[in-house]
Structure 1
Amino acid sequence: MSEALASLLDLLDLERIEQDIFRGASRSAIIPRVFGGQVAAQALVAAGRTVPAERPAHSLHAYFLRMGDPGAPIVYNVDRIRDGRSYTTRRVVAVQHGQPIFHLSASFQVAEDGLEHQAPMPDAPDPETLPTAAELLPRHAHLFTDPGVAERLAEARAAVDLRYVNEPPYAAAGKGPAEPRSQVWFRTNGKLDGEHDQPMLHICLATYVSDMTLLDSVLLAHGRGGWTVGDVVGASLDHAMWFHRPFRADEWLLYDQESPTAQGGRGLGKGGIYTADGRLVASVIQEGAVRVPRSR
């Protein structure tokens, strides 16, 4: 296991300070707010710790309410909405400095047999043939508004081996509008074993990664590079995920993403997450604030 992955697992290992109240640490961010994927993953960890292990999460719906302070801990209050025979529902409110910054509802289900079908996995190259973030970012560091962004971005993503199939928005900026679609392969930078090899932890890690690139397709549609090159200001507004089948976050997963629309200072992204052998394991939808600075 890499040191970066061990650090991320520590970040997701919340402190229980009351029966249904948990506290999570935060850490320095590339931008002066808590990374949304961190808050979503920690909130799901908090919810999951109040549910029997044989009921993994099958869906979550979340709203980002305020920017989180990366220099302060986050308290997660879990409300036990429902405990049914097949489904369990939890509501989580993340609080910092006395104010809610994030709200999540999550549903958990016992394993059942049922009807089966799925959309086919889209074509994608072998992830091992694609450049790593450590290889890709230095090539484009000259495009960033802050010379240190490439290094900080690589450090922030070191726990996850994330590989773009095509150019990321920061590399495609200024080349004109492109198809509103983006694909990345990802897996944790190291194996999860022993106490870390738990179905819910794999789900929480995928939740963490799901917020990293979902709005890329919005930027590509308009030839924008995003906050790293200073031509767009953005933030996640809401996030929803459905978990369809078991998977491992330490094995290659294809995140196929597209944007059907952008308007009113907002952009919508949706994605499907597939295993390397073609199983659709999760669906994701997110809306984000996507604004062009007035000077542009």
Structure 2
Amino acid sequence: MNDLPAPVPFLDLLRIEELDQNLYRGRCHAGAPLRAFGGQVAAQALTAGGHTVDPERTVHSLHGYFLRPGDPARPIVYQVERLRDGRSYATRRVTAVQGGEAIFVFSASFKRPEPAAGERQRTMPPVPGPEELEDAFAVWAATSPEDFATTTGFHSLEMRFVPADAPGLPPEPAGVPQQFVWMRTGTPLPADDPLVHACALTYLSDLTLAPTTALHLQKPRFQRSEPNQVALASLDHAMWFHRPFRADEWVLYAQRSPSASDGRGLALGEFYDRDGVLIASAVQEALLRELRSPSG
């Protein structure tokens, strides 16, 4: 098994520079060859929008559209619009611009905490804990060392895939592939900054959600050595944050894909902490096209 590089500080992936009021600049690593990782673009957009909001208000939802692939070799400028500041809620729109063109548009809503009227949630499946599972990046480094070496940004986190035959997994409905992955940042995050943890979870949420739509065609990138069978790209992404959490502690990402058609796939995800608390939900639509063989 290959030795893994030491993780770089995860906070470096969220760092942006303030250029002027409501104007920020950042850089994103590649998620695929010559394409900036969409989860980092969304996380930096949330960082930019969150910097213009009263810290007492925490993000509770975000919605984004990926318009063009970002270039990881060039900086990205984030333009923030302050759409609303009400007594309880605040709304921000962020446009990520590169080369004079919008590559990502994003809106986020923030609110002040308030007492719950009566809480409920779906129960987390009793899956094996992360300590019992293989390190996904160690497996990836061993099976696809060249691919692994080109994606240094992912070295700032940890992942453990739950095997499909693990005890406790709910049965997979016909036509609805599913996967369960433990995740966390590879380095500690500030304990007293909910925005940082929300941005980190936004980054994590984009790692395996689109690949869930293609599980009927191929294994996720981190678990296979064979070439891609499909073209995958995030089209839009939405998240809802339900309860406080820490992204530098293990969270379970329960994902399923109820539909694939018309060159698109839909995936739903739920995040749980180690105590089984549902902390966030995510939905993503992805471009999903089978690749033709060179002779096809």
Q: 1:4 to 1:110 in 2, by over 3 A?
A: same
1:164-183 map, 5 Å: 164-166=161-163, 180-183=177-180
1:219 aligns with 2:214: yes
How far 1:3 sits from its partner (Å)? 5.7
TM-superposed deviation, 1:30: 3.9
- Displacement of 1:234 after TM fit? 1.2
Partner of 1:93: 95
User: In structure 1, what is the equivalent of residue 248 of structure 2?
Assistant: 250
The equivalent residue for 1:79 is 81
Pick from 56, 61, 72 the counterpart of residue 54 of structure 1: 56
Moved over 6 A (4+): none
Quick one: percent identity of the two aligned structures?
48
Match of 1:206 in 2: 201
Which range moves more in the overlay, 132-141 or 281-290?
A: 132-141
Question: What is the Cα deviation at residue 33 of structure 1?
Answer: 0.8
Contact kept, 8 Å, 2:208 with 2:220, in 1: the verdict is: no
Cα distance in 2 for partners of 1:28, 1:135 equals 19
- Say whether the 8 Å CA contact 1:63–1:103 is kept in structure 2: yes
Query: Structure 1, unaligned stretches of length 5 or more?
Result: 142-146, 168-176
Match of 1:127 in 2: 130
TM-score, length of structure 1 as denominator length? 0.88
CA contact (8 A) 1:81 1:90 kept: yes
* 8 Å CA contact 2:29, 2:153 repeated in 1: no
| Structure 2 CA distance for aligned equivalents of residues 159 and 178 of structure 1 | 34
Give the structure 1 partner of residue 188 of structure 2.
191
In the alignment, the residues of structure 1 paired with residue 267 and residue 32 of structure 2 have an alpha-carbon distance, to the nearest angstrom, of: 22
Equivalent-residue separation in structure 1 for 2:141 and 2:178 (angstroms)? 24
Q: How far off its partner does 1:5 sit?
A: 3.9
Q: Are the counterparts in 2 of residues 224 and 232 from structure 1 also a CA contact under 8 Å? A: no
| Alignment match, 1:15 | 17
* Distance across 2 between alignment mates of 1:20 and 1:275: 33
Listed as ranges, the gaps of 5+ residues in structure 2 are 165-173
Q: Compute the displacement of 1:221 (Å).
A: 2.3
Matched letter for residue 86 of structure 1? S
Distance across 1 between alignment mates of 2:131 and 2:89:
39
User: What's the C-alpha RMSD, in Å, of the aligned pairs?
Assistant: 2.1
In structure 2, distance between residues paired with 1:106 and 1:135: 35
What TM-score results when the alignment is normalised by the length of structure 2?
0.88
Asked whether the 8 Å contact 1:90–1:105 carries over to 2, the reply is: yes
Q: Secondary structure at the match of 1:111?
A: coil
Q: 1:225 to 1:106 in 2, by over 3 A?
A: closer
TM-superposed CA distance for 1:25, in Å, is: 1.9
Q: Distance in 2 between matches of 1:29 and 1:252?
A: 22
8 Å contact kept, 2:176–2:259: no
The 2-side partners of 1:3 and 1:137 are apart by 15
- The question of 1:285 aligning with 2:290 is answered no
Q: What is the aligned counterpart of 1:111 among 96, 107, 113?
A: 113
